[in-house]
Structure 1
């Protein structure tokens, strides 16, 4: 229930602080007084979009704050889901808007996202405007009405979960089928690539080894000449390094018995002699190994040409990258072969989820259809009370070709206000006044079936007057026994039914025009109702009529 509304620097309002109570309250005021401004400020704190034009001229910031009694509504799960501070008794919403376009929203003094604030606001207040009358022609709104009155919320949520699960499985299956189709299209090419790489039988570091060997074969003659010269210098003729070192060694050894200091020299010469002998032997072996083999050279060139060709084709720079690519293609081919099994598994899963969804959709449809007769009867009964005694109202349902997020039902309201007029779709036949009365009947039924916290009617009485307005007021008054109802109205018949009466008015001074709102005392209500009865000039008869309407003695 809305307990209070505080507005600062909004439109024509400097400051406004109003308290509200339970039951049926009315808000009146002359045309243009600013009733829509009050409603606009309330909508702002409930999460509607803000614009800098909302700010009072000359000010940099406007603030709207509302306090709610939520003791009868279990909002704890909603607060816990959003990780907000929860007070089981009282809720404070605040909205701040700056002239530079920035705005902030708060729940219990903690900043929140605007979408979350709007979601919370939808759970607190149902604001019914004249524009919403047009929604009565919308199939989704009509379906929402049926679900509210049939109390299908639990099953509707279960169906929504089943539908989402089915659509998710359907998407996975379609994605996998598309992937399989693409894989099939390129599978032949992948197999060709894989076979070419497999036939090459590539080995790690093969390219470097072959390139080195080719370099050696290409320069075989030059290498052999150098090795021959090397071995010749070491031992190939009489004046070679080995023989001279051997002679030096013998000279050093010959005097060591008389000159011991040459012992170390002899040992070092002997070491050098042994090393050079090893070098010469290794050079001789290499000389024998190096051979110009044109067949081997041709094979290496062909092998390297294959490697270079594969590297260029696949845009890589070494053999290891080709080996990695071969393994990657092998994995793709293996995955392609397993896709059929995965698709078969997903087809089974999708079928099961579809059957589960359709089973819940049929149960939801049965629940809706079962509620239709009592809904039709309730609306016809209330329409008769509101002066349409021959009204006929039908809810016609049909099955959709494909289920969607709301189920398998198509919904349409058919209406006729007269005995001799055929039933037609609501949007084709109902007048403005009939739409207003029909919407009030629906809201009244919904209020009786669900625990709406607060409902605000913004001139739902459009197109009505006299006795019908009085009866509409009685319906809203009756609704107020179960919930908080606030009606913005121009009709005295409705205004007189309120247990609390607020008036919105404007005053002009040197600083400009200002909008104000105040709660009327019982005595103050009489002239306000009289004004609504008689217009600009309040007559004595209007005063007396106002007293009668309000049940005031004297």
Structure 2
């Protein structure tokens, strides 16, 4: 609900502040007094593009601010999504700077025009004769029908399911598209994996094989050199071991004469023991070195295999081949499971479709039940507004395809007069008829949904007499459930307002300024009498005005 509006430095408005109450609020004034300026300011507040030329004094900021009571609109989730502080008394502000740039704020937090517009749509609904074509749109007709059929919970569930279905179908299409490519890569990857698995890779094996190969490939030279080394050490008379033994014995005989000689004797003994041990090891090694052509061939073959794998996979060591093997295992496994994944996704898609079908049918049945009620109530309201022969023919068809709000196709046809063919609203209804139809629909909606502040901008043009009173009564009825603002030229509607404001121009310091003020009872009588009789108000007009106001 709009609680207050402040406008500074906008068009002919210098500084205007006004508070609004609940119920029906009427705004009157002469043509050109500035009623359209109020709507223009509200439009800026609700996110419309700013026009720098609308600023009254281009050296100063233009500021438009509105305060709203939003506690009954369930907007907490909107504020959370926009990362805004939620306040039940929310303030929206729009500024146009002297530079021409504009800024927008919600509860003093800067926001984009998109965010401002999204919130504005939930707070104020402006209707004029130029905007009544909305009633002819299928989307709007579904909104009305769904409000009467109480399908909001089912539709929200349907929309969540439809979003999930689209995501799953996209995943399925991607898998199916890639399946052939996976298949082509599979044979090559499987071959590479088989090679690595059959190789039974072990870290450090390459170094061991290279050592074995060098030994087996040079066995004769190794035997020859070992034999020569062993002969030098163990020859009976000239061998190093025998010569060392002689030296050891000689030193042992004189070791008692000096501590230095004793130490040398011990060292000589240690060398003898070490050389003797070396000779034993040389003998053992010589006995173990044997020519083995078969093992040599196997070693060479294994080395060739491993080196080929290293070259093929651009690896330097066996340790680098192991993660390559694991990666190939993953690719092959993924390829082998793609059919299973596709089958699983197909089952998921079918299950979601089954749930959507059930929801769609439930939504369809609720809508089908509510549709006659909607047309009946609308025809009754239009009859009271002078369209006594207006009738609607509405049909609901359950389709195969999944649409944004179910699987229904709605055909909403209208006939204004007896004997005339039914047709779509936008083709067969006049502007005045569309205005009354929109008024009737909003009146019905106000009984079933919490609507934002509703502003009617002279949709009563061309209406008079009893019809005008019926229209005024209808607005009054609607105002029991929501705040209704009517900018009107009809005295019947003006008199029905619980609050009555007048827009007028005033010359101050050789400048024309638009003003807006709340009228008291006497001022209302005079204003309504002028609406009836013109500036030269007659006594009968004053009496008529008092009767309309029940004063």
**Pairwise same-fold verdict (TM > 0.5):** yes
For the 8 Å contact 1:527–1:543, the answer to whether it is kept is no
* Alignment check: 8 A CA contact 1:128 1:456 kept: yes
Q: Secondary structure at the match of 2:389?
A: coil
Which residue number corresponds to residue 489 of structure 1?
Answer: 488
Residues 241 and 302 from structure 1, CA distance in 2 versus in 1: closer, same or farther, beyond 3 angstroms?
Answer: same
Q: Which residue of 2 aligns with 1:22?
A: 22
Compared with structure 1, are the counterparts of its residues 198 and 83 closer, same or farther at alpha carbon in structure 2 (3 Å cutoff)? closer
Equivalent position of 1:540 in the other structure: 536
Deviations 1:257-295 (A, max 9, x none): 222342222222222333344445545655666678777
CA distance in 1, matches of 2:287, 2:503: 116
1:250 is matched with 249
SS at match of 1:255: helix
Who is 2:456 aligned against?
Answer: 457
CA distance in 1, matches of 2:317, 2:31: 85
Q: Give the drift of 1:479.
A: 1.7
Once residues 545 and 242 of structure 1 are traced to their aligned partners in structure 2, the CA distance between those partners, rounded to angstroms, is 148
- Contact in 1 for aligned 2:529/2:545 (Cα 8 Å): no
Aligned length: 547
Q: What is residue 200 of structure 1 aligned with on the other side?
A: 199
Per-residue Cα deviation, 1:229-254 (whole angstroms, up to 9, x for no partner): 65566556966654454343233212
2:92 counterpart residue number: 94
Give the direction of change, closer, same or farther, for the CA distance of 1:144–1:71 in structure 2 (3 Å limit): closer
* Equivalent residue number for residue 382 of structure 2: 383
Matched residue, 2:267: 268
Structure 2 residue matching 1:27: 3-state secondary structure:
strand
CA contact (8 A) 1:547 1:553 kept: no
Q: Distance in 2 between matches of 1:483 and 1:264?
A: 118
Q: Does 1:420 align with 2:419?
A: yes
Structure 1 counterpart of 2:478: 479
In structure 1, what is the Cα distance between the partners aligned to 2:505 and 2:268?
123
Provide the rounded CA distance (Å) in 2 between the counterparts of 1:265 and 1:52.
Answer: 112
Output the CA distance in 2 between the equivalents of 1:97 and 1:508: 26
Counterparts of 1:95 and 1:281 in 2: how far apart (Å)?
102
Name the SS of the counterpart of 1:540 in structure 2. coil
Q: 1:96 to 1:429 in 2, by over 3 A?
A: closer
Q: Structure 1 residues 434, 255: closer, same or farther in 2, change over 3 A?
A: same
In structure 2, the CA distance between the partners of 1:445 and 1:295, relative to structure 1 (3 Å rule), is same
2:433 maps to which residue? 434
Greater CA drift, 175-184 or 74-83 = 74-83
SS of structure 2 residue aligned to 1:449: coil
Instruction: Go from structure 1 to structure 2 and tell me whether the alpha carbon gap of 1:478 and 1:547 turns closer, same or farther (over 3 Å shift).
Output: farther
The separation in 2 between residues aligned to 1:549 and 1:317, in whole angstroms, is: 102
How does 1:59-458 map onto structure 2 within 5 Å?
A: 62-69=62-69, 90-97=88-95, 99=97, 101=101, 103-107=103-107, 120-171=119-170, 173-174=172-173, 177=176, 182-214=181-213, 234=233, 241-282=240-281, 299-341=298-340, 343-458=342-457
Name the SS of the counterpart of 1:66 in structure 2.
strand
SS of match in other structure, 2:255: coil
Instruction: Give a deviation string over 1:445-474, Cα, whole Å, max 9, x none.
Output: 111232325212233335656664454333
- Deviation, 1:402, is 0.5
Gaps of 5+ in 1: none
The CA deviation string for residues 149-178 of structure 1, in whole angstroms up to 9 with x for no partner, is: 223223323333444454455555555555
More displaced stretch, 149-158 vs 353-362? 149-158
What stretches of structure 2 of length at least 5 have no aligned partner? none
CA contact (8 A) 1:28 1:489 kept: yes
CA contact (8 A) 1:52 1:97 kept: no
CA displacement at 1:209 relative to structure 2: 3.1
Indicate how the Cα distance of structure 1 residues 444 and 265 shifts in structure 2: closer, same or farther if over 3 A, else same.
same
Contact 1:65/1:92, CA 8 A, preserved across alignment: no
The 1-side partners of 2:266 and 2:16 are apart by 114
**TM-score (normalizing by structure 2):** 0.82
Contact 1:26–1:501 (CA under 8 A) maintained in structure 2: yes
